[in-house]
């Protein structure tokens, strides 16, 4: 590993956001899961959460661009259990859902611990999950179509969260002597070294 590669890994790890995440409720199309994880990586999300659709998390395709190696994906048996776990950890839960109580997606304060709840491509967030969230957000639409692709919607919300957090100085690098950034950086470096020793056909 070159010094430049190691420095980049450490720099990215030091800016990972522990308290910003996405909760995917049965998102079943591989390209959408992959695109969401890629956006999570771009925004600096440390880990994402998912309730797998029937059959489990779909096999990720090239859209992920390897993002699954840099964003931990935590699987939950059902939405209630997963969302309750996040709530107990102090997260505010915001569902992307069109309703009378939904507010513009730019209104919430994303500098607080936040989980963005995204639903299935066809049916959206379930009624069960909506009962557990703290609020609902909507992306204003001025065209003939009434909704965006789930991965595009996730990207817009996450980049708004990034904008707010950057303005608040939350992307200043953390010390790699602190947990969990220390373990994250060391784990990435170890895995990257191991991966480079593998035959090309075994690369994931």
Work out the number of other CB atoms within 10 angstroms of the CB of residue 157.
Answer: 23
pTM for the model stands at: 0.90
**Are 73 and 40 a contacting pair, CB within 8 Å?**
no
Give the pLDDT of residue 204: 44
What is the per-residue pLDDT across 22-31, written as a single tens digit (0 to 9) for each?
Answer: 999 999 888 9
What is the per-residue pLDDT across 97-108, written as a single tens digit (0 to 9) for each?
Answer: 989 999 999 999
Give the pLDDT of residue 64: 47
Q: Which residues contact 125 (CB under 8 A, 6 or more apart)?
A: 25, 95, 96, 97, 117, 118, 119, 133
For the chain, domain boundaries: 17-197
17-197: CATH topology is Alpha/beta knot (3.40.1280)
47: which 2 tokens?
């880990």
What is the per-residue pLDDT across 154-198, written as a single tens digit (0 to 9) for each?
Answer: 999 999 999 999 999 999 999 999 999 999 999 999 999 988 776
């Amino acid at each position: 590993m070159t010094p430049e590669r190691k420095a980049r890994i450490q720099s990215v790890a030091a800016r990972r956001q522990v308290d910003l995440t996405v909760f995917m409720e049965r998102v079943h199309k591989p390209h959408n899961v992959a695109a969401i994880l890629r956006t999570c990586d771009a925004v600096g999300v440390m880990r994402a959460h998912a309730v797998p659709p029937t059959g489990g998390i779909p096999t990720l395709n090239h859209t992920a661009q390897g993002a699954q190696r840099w964003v931990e994906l935590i699987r939950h048996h059902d939405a209630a259990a997963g969302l309750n776990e996040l709530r107990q950890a102090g997260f505010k839960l915001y569902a992307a859902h069109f309703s009378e109580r939904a507010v513009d997606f730019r209104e919430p304060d994303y500098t607080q611990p936040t989980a963005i709840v995204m639903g299935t491509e066809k049916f959206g967030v379930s009624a069960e999950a909506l009962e557990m969230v703290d609020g609902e957000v909507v992306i204003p639409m001025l065209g003939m179509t009434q909704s965006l692709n789930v991965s595009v919607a996730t990207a817009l919300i996450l980049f708004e969260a990034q904008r707010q957090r950057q303005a608040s100085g939350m992307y200043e690098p953390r010390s790699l002597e602190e947990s969990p950034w220390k373990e994250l950086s060391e784990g990435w470096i170890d895995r990257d070294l191991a991966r480079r020793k593998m035959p090309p056909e075994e690369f994931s």
